[in-house]
Chain A
Amino acid sequence: MSTMAVPDVAVAAVDQGFWTRSRKAGLVLLALGLLAAVLFGALATDQQARFTLSEDAAGAALEINGTVGAILFGAIAAAAGAALLAGPPKRWFLPVLGVGLVGFVLSFLCWQVSAAPAGQNFMPLVNILRGTFILALPLIFGALAGVLCERSGVVNVAIEGQLLMGAFSGALFGSISGSVWVGLVAAAIGGAVISLLLAVFSIRYLVDQTVMGIVLNLLAVGVTGFLYERLMQTNAERYNSAPRFSNWEIPLLKDIPVLGPALFRGNIFLYLGLLLVLVIHLGLFRTRWGLRTRSVGEHPTAADTLGVRVLRVRYRNVLLAGVVAGIGGASYTLALYSFTKNMIGGKGFIALAALIFGRWNPTGALLAALFFGFADQLATYLGAINSVIPSQFLAMLPYLATILAVAGLVGRVRAPAADGKPYVKG
Chain B
Amino acid sequence: MEPGEIHALLGENGAGKSTLMNVLYGLYQPDEGEILVDGKALKLRGPSDAIAAGIGMVHQHFMLVPVFTVAENIMLGAEQVRGGIAGFLDRRRARREVVEVSERYGLRVDPDAVVEDLPVGIQQRVEIVKALTRDVDLLILDEPTAVLTPQETEELLTVMRSLKAAGKSIVFITHKLGEVKAIADRITVIRRGKTVGTASPDASRDELAALMVGRSVRLTVEKAPAAPGEPVLEVAGLVVDDDRQIRAVDGIDLTVRAGEVLGVAGVQGNGQTELIEAIMGLRPVLAGSVTLDGERIDGWSTKKVLRAGVGYVPEDRSVDGLVKEFSVAENLVLDIYDRPPFAGGLALKPDAIAASAKERIAQFDVRTSSAEAPVGTLSGGNQQKVIVARELSRPLKLFIAAQPTRGVDVGSIEFIHSRVIRERDIGTAVLVVSSELDEVLGLADRVAVMYRGRIIGIVGPDTPREQIGLLMAGVTPEVAAEQTAGATDDDAAPAEAPRSEDEE
A10 to B474, CA, bound (A): 11
Closest-CB distance, B63 to chain A (whole angstroms): 4
Out of B27, B81, B245, B247, name the residue touching A287 (CB < 8 Å): B81
Closest-CB distance, A419 to chain B (whole angstroms): 13
Instruction: List residues 61-118 of chain B with CB under 8 A from any CB of chain A.
Output: 62-68, 72-73, 75-79, 81, 86-89
Query: Cβ of B51 and Cβ of A307 under 8 Å apart?
Result: yes
The yes or no answer to A130 lying at the interface (CB within 8 A) is no
The yes or no answer to A92 lying at the interface (CB within 8 A) is no
Out of B65, B68, B452, name the residue touching A13 (CB < 8 Å): B452
The yes or no answer to B41 lying at the interface (CB within 8 A) is no
The yes or no answer to B326 lying at the interface (CB within 8 A) is no
The yes or no answer to A384 lying at the interface (CB within 8 A) is no
Known A299-B64, A299-B66: A287·B86 in contact at CB below 8 Å: yes
- Residues of chain A lying within 8 A (CB to CB) of residue B78: 306-307
The yes or no answer to B340 lying at the interface (CB within 8 A) is no
Tally of chain A residues near chain B (CB < 8 A): 33
Query: Cβ of A298 and Cβ of B66 under 8 Å apart?
Result: yes
Query: Cβ of B452 and Cβ of A295 under 8 Å apart?
Result: no
Find the residue from B65, B79, B88, B479 having the highest chain A CB count within 10 A: B65
Query: Cβ of B63 and Cβ of A299 under 8 Å apart?
Result: yes
- Residues of chain B lying within 8 A (CB to CB) of residue A301: 63
Query: Cβ of B479 and Cβ of A6 under 8 Å apart?
Result: yes
A262 to B452, CA, bound (A): 57
The yes or no answer to B478 lying at the interface (CB within 8 A) is yes
- Residues of chain A lying within 8 A (CB to CB) of residue B245: 16
Known A9-B452, A288-B79: A305·B479 in contact at CB below 8 Å: no
Instruction: List residues 221-235 of chain B with CB under 8 A from any CB of chain A.
Output: none
Closest-CB distance, A108 to chain B (whole angstroms): 34
A160 to B70, CA, bound (A): 38
The yes or no answer to A388 lying at the interface (CB within 8 A) is no
Instruction: List residues 34-91 of chain A with CB under 8 A from any CB of chain B.
Output: none
Query: Cβ of A291 and Cβ of B79 under 8 Å apart?
Result: yes
Across the two chains, which residue of chain A brings its CB closest to B457? Answer: A1
Tally of chain B residues near chain A (CB < 8 A): 47
The yes or no answer to B458 lying at the interface (CB within 8 A) is yes
- Residues of chain B lying within 8 A (CB to CB) of residue A14: 246
The yes or no answer to A392 lying at the interface (CB within 8 A) is no
Out of A287, A305, A426, name the residue touching B47 (CB < 8 Å): A305
Out of B66, B77, B478, B479, name the residue touching A303 (CB < 8 Å): B77
The yes or no answer to A230 lying at the interface (CB within 8 A) is no
A308 to B63, CA, bound (A): 13
Instruction: List residues 10-29 of chain A with CB under 8 A from any CB of chain B.
Output: 10, 12-14, 16
Closest-CB distance, A282 to chain B (whole angstroms): 8
- Residues of chain B lying within 8 A (CB to CB) of residue A10: 452
Closest-CB distance, A303 to chain B (whole angstroms): 7
Judged by DSSP, the binding face of A is helix
- Residues of chain A lying within 8 A (CB to CB) of residue B213: none
- Residues of chain A lying within 8 A (CB to CB) of residue B455: 2
Query: Cβ of B57 and Cβ of A2 under 8 Å apart?
Result: no
The yes or no answer to B399 lying at the interface (CB within 8 A) is no
The yes or no answer to A265 lying at the interface (CB within 8 A) is no
- Residues of chain A lying within 8 A (CB to CB) of residue B476: 1-3, 6
The yes or no answer to B125 lying at the interface (CB within 8 A) is no
Out of B77, B81, B250, name the residue touching A308 (CB < 8 Å): B77
- Residues of chain A lying within 8 A (CB to CB) of residue B453: 9, 13
Closest-CB distance, B91 to chain A (whole angstroms): 9
Instruction: List residues 258-315 of chain A with CB under 8 A from any CB of chain B.
Output: 286-289, 291-292, 294-295, 298-299, 301-308
- Residues of chain B lying within 8 A (CB to CB) of residue A306: 47-48, 51, 63, 76-78, 130
Instruction: List residues 439-488 of chain B with CB under 8 A from any CB of chain A.
Output: 451-458, 474-479
Across the two chains, which residue of chain B brings its CB closest to A300? Answer: B65
Out of B63, B79, B247, name the residue touching A302 (CB < 8 Å): B63
A304 to B28, CA, bound (A): 12
Closest-CB distance, A244 to chain B (whole angstroms): 32
Closest-CB distance, A74 to chain B (whole angstroms): 34
A286 to B72, CA, bound (A): 11
- Residues of chain B lying within 8 A (CB to CB) of residue A299: 63-66
Query: Cβ of B86 and Cβ of A291 under 8 Å apart?
Result: no
Query: Cβ of B28 and Cβ of A426 under 8 Å apart?
Result: yes
Known A13-B452, A292-B76, A305-B25: A287·B87 in contact at CB below 8 Å: yes
Closest-CB distance, A66 to chain B (whole angstroms): 45
Out of B59, B86, B247, name the residue touching A305 (CB < 8 Å): B59
- Residues of chain A lying within 8 A (CB to CB) of residue B72: 291
Across the two chains, which residue of chain A brings its CB closest to B22? Answer: A426
A298 to B25, CA, bound (A): 22
The yes or no answer to B46 lying at the interface (CB within 8 A) is yes
A5 to B482, CA, bound (A): 12
Query: Cβ of B457 and Cβ of A2 under 8 Å apart?
Result: yes
Find the residue from B46, B57, B77 having the highest chain A CB count within 10 A: B77
A4 to B72, CA, bound (A): 37
Known A1-B476, A425-B27: A295·B81 in contact at CB below 8 Å: no
Known A291-B72, A299-B64, A305-B57: A13·B250 in contact at CB below 8 Å: yes
A41 to B454, CA, bound (A): 55
Out of A2, A6, A12, A289, name the residue touching B87 (CB < 8 Å): A289
A301 to B79, CA, bound (A): 18
Across the two chains, which residue of chain A brings its CB closest to B253? Answer: A2
Find the residue from B63, B75, B245, B451 having the highest chain A CB count within 10 A: B63
Query: Cβ of A286 and Cβ of B250 under 8 Å apart?
Result: no
A291 to B67, CA, bound (A): 11
A309 to B67, CA, bound (A): 20
- Residues of chain B lying within 8 A (CB to CB) of residue A426: 27-28
Query: Cβ of B89 and Cβ of A417 under 8 Å apart?
Result: no
Across the two chains, which residue of chain A brings its CB closest to B90? Answer: A288
A283 to B311, CA, bound (A): 54
Known A12-B250, A13-B247, A299-B65: A307·B89 in contact at CB below 8 Å: no
Query: Cβ of B458 and Cβ of A295 under 8 Å apart?
Result: no
- Residues of chain B lying within 8 A (CB to CB) of residue A2: 454-457, 476
Known A4-B454, A6-B479, A13-B452: A302·B65 in contact at CB below 8 Å: yes
Across the two chains, which residue of chain B brings its CB closest to A2? Answer: B456
- With contacts A6-B452, A288-B79 known, what are 20 further pairs, Cβ within 8 A? A1-B458, A1-B476, A1-B477, A2-B476, A9-B454, A10-B452, A12-B247, A13-B250, A13-B452, A14-B246, A291-B76, A291-B89, A295-B76, A298-B66, A299-B65, A301-B63, A302-B65, A304-B46, A305-B59, A307-B48
Q: List 16 A-B contacts (CB under 8 A).
A: A1-B457, A2-B456, A3-B476, A3-B478, A6-B475, A10-B452, A13-B246, A288-B81, A298-B68, A302-B76, A304-B27, A304-B46, A305-B47, A305-B57, A308-B77, A417-B66
Question: Which residues of A pack against B, CB within 8 Å?
Answer: 1-6, 9-10, 12-14, 16, 286-289, 291-292, 294-295, 298-299, 301-308, 417, 425-426
For the complex of A and B, the 5 pairs showing the least CB-CB separation, nearest first, are A307-B48, A306-B77, A302-B63, A288-B87, A9-B452
